[in-house]
Structure 1
């Protein structure tokens, strides 16, 4: 039976996904990565990604044969002035009503610095290492989602969403 590598992003699972395990039957709306996305490394080697907020009307069904948790390393920078404003806003005596401030953190993915960790089940919630208070740059590691090997039944359309 043919197999397809599918990327399930952390936020898609945390928002609207249902955790699954190796051996489970699943049916997802898949969107194929275009050639440019594959060249740029989108999806960590996956042919398609799960789209819970739109995408094709047709679901692709299959059996989960492997799950790899994807971790990406980032260079994190902390804007000290923005962090100080955030600290002041958290003091109840100095704030009236809601306060909206930009994040004091900026992060850049480190090219090629991702790892795969084989797991038996997909988590509902993913661990995200937060940047520290030091200005940086410093490295942090964050879970991005899971890379799933999906076994497709014979006769499954070659492209996600193909109604054949």
Structure 2
């Protein structure tokens, strides 16, 4: 079973999300987002490396372009149907192409209702506190500061967040997949990479959450 970091934004939860806790089984639409476009960029361990085939999945609102990762994870590449996404945003990627990409997996509940959902079990939750700064002195307009963030582990995701909290980083265990994060867990536990799927076998939930916390950090300031 593959382990994947997912960013669940505070506004997504506040609008139409359902709180969850470690150990819960959930089903979410996942979007492979441009990390530089999320909270100013500067992400670290939370980034996902993914490679696989590009497909267009038919839906009631139109086809959805997805990436089918080599081990089975399916994530959307755009939050809207292909026929309404601007050509420059679609780029040169077409169905049948193979794509390697590093991005941020995000839970997306405000895009196309046909976005495919991923079912998995929540293994760790970290509240993300984001730094902000005025765009100009006295402007009273704020923007996120790239990389200025901290994480704290919790057992349950809140419905409402403090002003400085931007959401949660969730570690999701997805059956039938494998990931770089799973690779790191096997390394930490001394498990051979020839036996994927045993990453969390025998670990109590609290011990697993503690281990995963060490694999979801923010980069130290220079």
TM-score using structure 1 length: 0.63
Alignment correspondent of 1:84: none
Alignment correspondent of 1:14: 14
Cα–Cα, structure 1 residues 57 and 112, in superposed 2: closer, same or farther, change >3 Å? Answer: closer
Unaligned ranges ≥5, structure 2: 48-103, 179-222
Alignment correspondent of 2:211: none
Cα–Cα, structure 1 residues 35 and 53, in superposed 2: closer, same or farther, change >3 Å? Answer: closer
Q: Superposition pairs for residues 8-157 of structure 1, below 5 Å?
A: 8-34=8-34, 40-41=41-42, 45-46=46-47, 47-55=104-112, 56-76=114-134, 79=138, 105-128=140-163, 142-154=164-176
Task: Count residues in correspondence.
Answer: 119
Q: Deviations over 1:54-100 (max 9, x none)?
A: 24532100000000000011124774xxxxxxxxxxxxxxxxxxxxx
Q: Deviations over 1:4-42 (max 9, x none)?
A: 10000000000000000000000000101247659x436
Alignment correspondent of 2:51: none
Unaligned ranges ≥5, structure 1: 80-103, 129-141, 157-164
Q: Deviations over 1:105-152 (max 9, x none)?
A: 211323321000100000000110xxxxxxxxxxxxx10000000000
- Counterpart CA distance in 1 for 2:22 and 2:14 is 19
Cα–Cα, structure 1 residues 110 and 12, in superposed 2: closer, same or farther, change >3 Å? Answer: same
TM-score using structure 2 length: 0.47
Cα–Cα, structure 1 residues 33 and 143, in superposed 2: closer, same or farther, change >3 Å? Answer: same
Higher relative contact order (CA 8 A, sep 6+): 1
- Counterpart CA distance in 1 for 2:31 and 2:142 is 27
Root-mean-square deviation over aligned CA pairs: 2.8
Cα–Cα, structure 1 residues 118 and 32, in superposed 2: closer, same or farther, change >3 Å? Answer: same
